[in-house]
């Protein structure tokens, strides 16, 4: 990869996203507001929350009847049983838990605290207790947006959906790729050589995750948030591989 200069631009002026909104149209408006046109090789990074909202992944906790298993687990981790029910319904398995936190393998394969379900940045009305779930198929959402941008602008771009997630061993959250399209999410450097002609030891770079973290630097998280970031200057081959390539198969994982 010979990228040596990269620009990250948060798109200004995006309105609050509502279920059913057309993200491609909103992004076009944001690009225009920034005085920019999409170019081949651009990468768009979208915050999970706007994709989930556009997809209508909003659930009112008042509609959830917790199962006996959820009630039991909720007591063990001191959480709302309805939330635990929702987390379990979004998860393949519980990886670890302690008071306040259920770390699960989400249905989309990502290992994430509380199934990525968020109270923040969700509109409430009439005493509702709305929470936001992760997209059901973020790779597909990325592919759809990528095709849509090719149709609208005649350029081949890449798309990443990111979220802020916790990790093993380290404090704080980093941006992680829930989905991607159009770039090698797991960049294979095997066969490349080092400065002295020997084969590289570090051989697979989690490109989509690094883009997700980079974008997070300009997205912010609160009321100043910029949910869409344009990354310009990255050199990469078009690739059908998606963020699924970043999921380590359970049988190869030493940490669950």
Q: Which residues within the stretch 204-223 sit at the binding site for a second copy (CB under 8 A)?
A: 204-207, 209-211, 213-214, 216-218, 220-223
The residue assigned the tokens 């770079």 is 205
Three-class DSSP category at 131: strand
Examine residue 7 and tell whether it contacts a second copy (CB under 8 A): yes
List the structure tokens of 110. 């990502």
> According to CB under 8 A, which residues from 155 to 174 bind a second copy?
164, 167-174
Examine residue 247 and tell whether it contacts a second copy (CB under 8 A): yes
**Nearest-approach distance from CB 151 to a second copy, in angstroms:** 28
Burial class (CB in 10 A: 0-12, 13-18, 19+), 216: buried
**Nearest-approach distance from CB 78 to a second copy, in angstroms:** 15
Q: Quote the distance between the C-alpha of residue 149 and its chain's center.
A: 19
Which of 55/162 has CB closer to a second copy? Answer: 162
Which of 165/181 has CB closer to a second copy? Answer: 165
Bridge partners, residue 132, by sequence? 58, 118
CB 10, CB 219: distance < 8 Å: yes
**Nearest-approach distance from CB 215 to a second copy, in angstroms:** 9
Examine residue 35 and tell whether it contacts a second copy (CB under 8 A): no
Burial class (CB in 10 A: 0-12, 13-18, 19+), 67: middle
Examine residue 30 and tell whether it contacts a second copy (CB under 8 A): no
**Nearest-approach distance from CB 31 to a second copy, in angstroms:** 14
**Nearest-approach distance from CB 173 to a second copy, in angstroms:** 5
Examine residue 58 and tell whether it contacts a second copy (CB under 8 A): no
Examine residue 121 and tell whether it contacts a second copy (CB under 8 A): yes
Stretch that binds a second copy, among 69-77, 78-86, 136-144, 239-247 (CB under 8 A): 239-247
Stretch that binds a second copy, among 23-31, 63-71, 79-87, 112-120 (CB under 8 A): 112-120
- Give the Cα separation of 25 and 11 in Å (integer): 13
Give the CA distances from residue 159 to residues 210, 217, 237, in Å, rounded to whole numbers and listed in that order. Answer: 13, 17, 13
Q: What are phi and psi of 45, to 5 degrees?
A: -110, 120
Give the CA distances from residue 132 to residues 2, 14, 72, 90, 173, in Å, rounded to whole numbers and listed in that order. Answer: 39, 19, 23, 12, 18
- Give the Cα separation of 84 and 101 in Å (integer): 10
Which of 20/197 has CB closer to a second copy? Answer: 197
Which of 130/148 has CB closer to a second copy? Answer: 130
How many residues of this chain bind a second copy (CB under 8 A)?
78
Examine residue 93 and tell whether it contacts a second copy (CB under 8 A): no
**Nearest-approach distance from CB 4 to a second copy, in angstroms:** 4
- Give the Cα separation of 30 and 15 in Å (integer): 9
């Amino acid at each position: 990869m010979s990228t040596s200069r990269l620009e990250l631009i948060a798109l200004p002026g995006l309105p609050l996203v509502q279920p059913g909104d057309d993200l491609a149209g909103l992004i076009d408006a944001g690009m225009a507001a920034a005085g920019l046109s999409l170019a081949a090789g651009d990468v768009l990074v979208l915050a999970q929350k706007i994709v989930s909202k556009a997809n209508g992944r909003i659930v009112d906790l008042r509609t959830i009847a917790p199962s006996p298993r959820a009630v039991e687990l909720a007591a063990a981790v001191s959480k709302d049983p309805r939330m635990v029910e929702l987390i379990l319904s979004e998860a393949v398995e519980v990886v670890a838990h302690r008071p306040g936190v259920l770390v699960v393998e989400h249905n989309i394969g990502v290992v994430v605290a509380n199934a990525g379900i968020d109270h923040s940045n969700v509109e409430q009305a009439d005493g509702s207790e709305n929470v936001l779930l992760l997209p059901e198929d973020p790779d597909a959402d990325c592919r759809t947006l990528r095709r849509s941008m090719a149709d609208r602008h005649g350029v081949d771009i890449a798309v990443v959906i990111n979220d802020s997630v916790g990790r093993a061993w380290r404090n704080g959250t980093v941006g992680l790729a829930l989905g991607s399209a159009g770039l090698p999410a797991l960049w294979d450097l095997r066969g490349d050589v080092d400065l002295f002609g020997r084969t590289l030891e570090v051989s697979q770079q989690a490109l989509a995750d690094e883009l997700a973290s980079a974008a997070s630097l300009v997205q912010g998280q609160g009321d100043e948030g910029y949910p869409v970031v344009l990354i310009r200057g990255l050199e990469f081959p078009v690739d059908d591989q998606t963020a699924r390539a970043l999921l380590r198969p359970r049988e190869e994982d030493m940490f669950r």
